[in-house]
Amino acid sequence: MNNVHIVTLGCSKNDVDSSMMYSLLDKNKYQMVNEPSQADILIVNTCGFIDAAKEESIDTILESVEYKNEGRCKKVLLSGCLAQRYPEELIKEIPEIDGIIGTGNIDYINELLDRSLAGDLFIKTDNLNSAYIEGIRKEVVNTTEYVKISEGCNNNCSYCIIPSLRGKNRSRKIEDIYSEVEYLVSKGAREIILIAQNTTDYGIDLYSKYSLANLINKISKIEDLKWIRVLYLYPDHFTDELIEEFKNNDKLVNYVDMPLQHISDDVLKRMNRKTSKEHIIKTLKNLRKSVPDIVIRTTFIVGFPGESDDDFNQLVDFIEDIKFDKLGVFEYSKEEGTRAASLDEQIPDSIKEERKNEIMAIQSEISAEILSKKIGKKLEVLIEEEVDEENYVGRTYMDSPEIDGVTYVHSAKNLEMGSFVQIDVVDSLDYDLVGEII
């Protein structure tokens, strides 16, 4: 029996892929272990989205190679986006790598393990647009679980390499997603987070219409499911039916993660975004009118090629006007293989950094103002961490795990991890809340 450990880098979609690889392991030959030091085989599930992610992946691969050089593991294998993007280059530069599977070849995980142990260099990255593999059955289920509803993306934004790494949009069938969610809930999951490269495109390939609202409505019928959260809701196909689902479905938390990337029509056009300033503002205002307590999170890219002072000022004015509850900013990363990499008027790194810092300073004040208005309100909190006997850390519906803030909870009685409790909000910080158990 060989011990296998997977190091997962990048986004929550990679977490799902790692769970899939674990579930597909031949249990007669391989078993999972929690620590890399215990592993006979290390698999690095890489990210290759932007330069910083690529650097982290390379560093992690080199750390894994050290385990091998020191005799603690037999094989180092790669999967994920960086592996899909640069298989030959990685093998050439890091010859200690013993095999690679790409993003569309997860179902070859056992062949990868078998062949590497036999001494073969197995590389398979050719099945980019493969159908989604069904059948995740996790041995350990958390209170919050991610469920991938589709793979790939049809957007072809000019700055993004993802369609080249993940293929075209391929939606899963509603009944298959329902079965997975039903299983996870039966094992203790209470919050399900639906993810994809672009969740609002869900179903268009299978059902010839955008079907996210229908999917949410179906899985909300699962009795013990408490919260449904959806990430990566692009604005271009944010349907009226979806807004109605947010308005009327008690299990769908009023939290919208909508990556906008910019507001200037000139920049949006160069980004090849399928939307406009007018459409974005209309969608946001419609959301807030229909669902008054909606929490909206977004991300922007600053320093995109050709972003003028006027473009940037439009973005600043938009942020100050809309007052997003949550906001992240990325400096544009020039990625080879994308159309944006060849555009004129590349912006100096110093200006990118200045623009990012300016927006984050504005957002810090906006966030503090919004959260200060929560003082005195009663909120429901999912408890996730015990600090000491009387202090805990959790999340409200307003916060997605790892990317948003938290709520600090004081309680004289013991609280169970994964429980939902009611609190009075007594204080606020820039991005977090402080509450006391009711």
Query: Same domain for 340 and 205?
Result: yes
Note the pLDDT tens digit of each residue in 211-246.
999 999 999 999 999 999 999 999 999 999 999 999
Question: φ, ψ for residue 278 (rounded to 5)?
Answer: -60, -45
- Does residue 251 carry a pLDDT above 90? yes
Cross-strand partners of 300:
261, 329
The conformation of residue 376, written as its DSSP 8-state character, comes to T
Whether 369 and 411 share a structural domain: no
Q: What is the CATH number of the domain that holds 384?
A: 2.40.50.140
List, as residue ranges, the binding site.
Answer: 11, 47, 81, 153, 157, 160
Domain shared by 369 and 391, yes or no: no
What is the number of structural domains in the chain? 3
Establish if 328 belongs to a structural domain. Answer: yes
Give the DSSP per-residue string, 37-72: GG-SEEEEEE--SSHHHHHHHHHHHHHHHHHHHTTS
pLDDT (0 to 100) of residue 137: 65
Model confidence at 141, in pLDDT bands (50, 70, 90)?
Answer: confident
- What does the pLDDT look like over 291-314, one tens digit per residue? 999 999 999 999 999 999 999 999
Residue 209 is inside which H or E element, if any?
A: none
Is 172 found in the same domain as 109? no
pTM above 0.85, yes or no: yes
The CATH number for 59's domain is 3.40.50.12160
Q: Give the pair of three-digit tokens for residue 357.
A: 């810092």
Do the domain assignments include residue 138?
Answer: no
pLDDT value at 36 more than 90:
no
Which has more pLDDT, 53 or 236? 236
CB burial class (10 A; 0-12, 13-18, 19+) of residue 285? Answer: exposed
Statement: residue 336 has pLDDT above 90: no
| Upper half-sphere CA count for residue 133 (Cβ side, 13 Å) | 20
In this prediction, residue 136 has a pLDDT band, given cuts at 50, 70 and 90, of: low
Range of the domain at 203: 144-373
Pairing type for strands 227-230 and 252-257 reads parallel
Binding residues for [4Fe-4S] cluster: 11, 47, 81, 153, 157, 160
End residue of a domain, out of 349, 373, 397: 373
Residues with Cβ within 8 Å of residue 28, at least 6 apart in sequence: none
- Residue 347: strand, helix, or coil: coil
pLDDT in tens, 177-214: 999 999 999 999 999 999 999 999 999 999 999 999 99
So what's the pLDDT on residue 135? Answer: 66
Q: The CATH number of the domain where 362 resides is what? A: 3.80.30.20
